[in-house]
Amino acid sequence: MLKSDGLKKVKNDLILVGVICTLSLVGFLIFKLTMKDGNRVSVSINGEEKYSYSITDNVETDIITGNNGENNNTLVIKDRKAYIKSATCPDKICVGHRPISKDGETIVCLPHKIVVSITEGK
C-alpha cells in the first residue's frame, strides 16, 4: 500500500512533517524567549478570575468547586513557584504538572474547570 502511494507522496508527507515540526519549534522558541518571571498567581474557575496571590506568598489553600463543593484542588505557592499538591479530579493531570513560575505559564484542571496561571501583574 505504502509503495503504491508512490515516492512523490511520501516526499510530500515528509515535507508536511517538516513544516509541522518547524512551526512547533518556532512557536516554542518564541514562547521561551518571551517568557519573563511572573509576579501574580491567578486562579480562574469557569473562566472567571476568583483568587489572586503574589508569587512571593507562602500559600497552601484548597480550591473548592462543583455544585455542592465536592471538588477540591490544593494549590501551593512556595519559593516563587506554584503547583497543585493534590486534587480530587479523576485524571490528576494538574497534580502531575511541574511547578510554574514564568509569566503565562498555566496549570489546567479540565474536569474542575480550573486554570492556575502566572501573570506579570505589578
Instruction: Specify which residues 12 forms β-bridges with.
Output: none
Task: From 10-18, 58-66, 67-75, 78-86, give the range in contact with other proteins by CB under 8 A.
Answer: 10-18
Question: 62: phi > 0 → left, psi -120 to 50 → alpha, else beta; which?
Answer: beta
CB of 83 to other proteins, least distance (A): 12
CB of 10 to other proteins, least distance (A): 6
Nearest to 114 by CA among 72, 58, 54, 59: 72
Tell whether residue 105 is a contact of other proteins (CB under 8 A): yes
- Min separation Cβ 15 and other proteins, Å: 9
Q: Could you say which of 58, 68, 79, 98 contacts other proteins (CB under 8 A)?
A: 98
What count of other Cβ atoms lies within 10 Å of the Cβ of residue 59? Answer: 14
Q: Which of 54, 49, 45, 31 lies closest to 73 in space, CA to CA?
A: 45
Q: Binding of other proteins at residue 44 (CB under 8 A)? A: yes
In angstroms, the CA 18 to CA 11 distance is: 10
Residues that bind other proteins (CB under 8 A): 1-2, 5-6, 8-10, 12-13, 16-17, 20-21, 23-24, 27-28, 31, 44, 47-48, 91-93, 96-98, 104-106, 108, 110, 113, 115, 117
